[in-house]
Amino acid sequence: MDLKSGYPFWAVSNGLMQAFPRLDADLRCDVAVLGGGITGALIADELARHGFDVTVLEQRDIGWGSTAASTALLQYEIDTHLVDLAKRHGEADAALAYRACADAIDGLQDVASAWRDVGFARNRSLYYASRRRDVRALEQEHAARQRHGLDVELLSRARVREDYGFDAPAALLSTQAARVDPYRLTHRLLQRLQKQGAAVFDRTCIADIETTSRGVTLRTDTGFNVRAAHLVVAAGYASQHWLKQRVARNRSSYAVISDPLPQDQLGFLADTLLWETARPYLYARSTSDSRLLLGGEDDAMDIPAKRDARVGKKARTLLKRLHDLFPGLAVTPAFSWAGTFAETEDGLPFFGPHRQWGPRVHFAMAYGGNGITYSMLGAGLLRALIERRRHPLWPLFSFRRMER
């Protein structure tokens, strides 16, 4: 799949950090991870740290698919409100998902703390009502999150104007959020794994997968075989290629990033993620070098050439919407891009085996607006499944929920 267009900032700013080798011989391992983006890197790291012999296989260069296009807002807040998720799956499961995502932010901080250059920083999250009629939903969401021990504050219009300098009928302020450079973190994780003896291959395309009761065999398009006890398919939105059942829909999202700004111009955006109740939503966050990153304007376009043609217009729209909120903020755009993403009907990911493939093939579909948070959760969930342990999130994040 052609997953991105334009000039994704992470790829431009970091360049090709390291070329990993192509697979040029048969090999065996405990777990093969198909996909060398941030999801595959987090899962491979989790498994390797707990004693598994892991092989990572990526058909492009490492981190060059959706990871390079990600805007990497790290939030516990799921695109589906807790109150709406509770209507679908019950309040206990909805709260479990939200609390697990909150814990995942701490987990990502622990992972990223090994390096100083991956752009990780703790942030707050300001979720504002786009329209007056959205206030009631925010009030209900505030009550539900507080009921389940989540740290959140409901702000009035006056408080939003006084503390943040723009006009919105209400907002939810959360402290459990962060940001990261996903491309650099992916490379750092896989470089460390390689140094520790794990096999990491890029430019290696898997043409066929065969399963037996004892393991999985992956065949490359150049004729080499990888035999593993388990396979994790973490190929992002291309993972759907390996399933006959449609489990998500592809969408395109657009982003633009500014030249570096003085700290006094960034204001609260220096340490706060901003997003809104409208769908699709506008969102903004800063980077470690004081740039402002805007995203949104999602649409259902899944044709790369047509998606590419929309990048310029979408970037202008994002900048205009920012100007409408903050007329005094002067932003000079540096790069703009688009990426193809996927979303599930309820906003939750899928992790684990699918009946089409049997118990030794696990999918890691961290779909939705907080995919990196989901990937952190999924790493632990998949390790539990491979170790034949129960995990509290598996029933909710498994393909079984499509059968309810």
The reported pTM is 0.96
Residues 118-159 pLDDT 10s: 999 999 999 999 999 999 999 999 999 999 999 999 999 999
**Predicted local distance difference test score (pLDDT) of residue 5:** 52
> Of 338, 339, 342, nearest to 238 (Cα)?
342
Residues 208-230 pLDDT 10s: 999 999 999 999 999 999 999 99
DSSP state of 165: S
**Predicted local distance difference test score (pLDDT) of residue 1:** 43
**Predicted local distance difference test score (pLDDT) of residue 301:** 84
**Predicted local distance difference test score (pLDDT) of residue 3:** 41
pLDDT of residue 89 exceeding 50? yes
DSSP state of 76: S
**Predicted local distance difference test score (pLDDT) of residue 340:** 83
Residues 342-360 pLDDT 10s: 899 999 999 999 999 999 9
Residues 292-321 pLDDT 10s: 999 999 999 878 888 889 999 999 999 999
Strand partners, 252: 299, 340
Count CB neighbours of 329 within 10 A.
17
Residues 280-295 pLDDT 10s: 889 999 999 999 999 9
Instruction: With beta carbons less than 8 A apart as the criterion, state whether 229 and 259 touch.
Output: no
**Predicted local distance difference test score (pLDDT) of residue 80:** 96
Strand partners, 340: 252
| Arithmetic mean of pLDDT over the chain | 94
Tokens of 74: 């790290």
**Predicted local distance difference test score (pLDDT) of residue 265:** 92
**Predicted local distance difference test score (pLDDT) of residue 395:** 94
Q: How far apart are CA 303 and CA 290, in angstroms?
A: 33
pLDDT of residue 165 exceeding 70? yes
User: Exposure of 357 by Cβ count < 10 A (0-12 exposed, 13-18 middle, 19+ buried)?
Assistant: middle
Binned at pLDDT 50, 70 and 90, residue 6 comes out as: low
Binned at pLDDT 50, 70 and 90, residue 8 comes out as: confident
Q: Domains for the chain: give ranges and CATH numbers.
A: 4-69+183-247+347-403 (3.50.50.60), 121-176+252-343 (3.30.9.10)
Q: How far is CA 401 from the centre of its chain?
A: 21
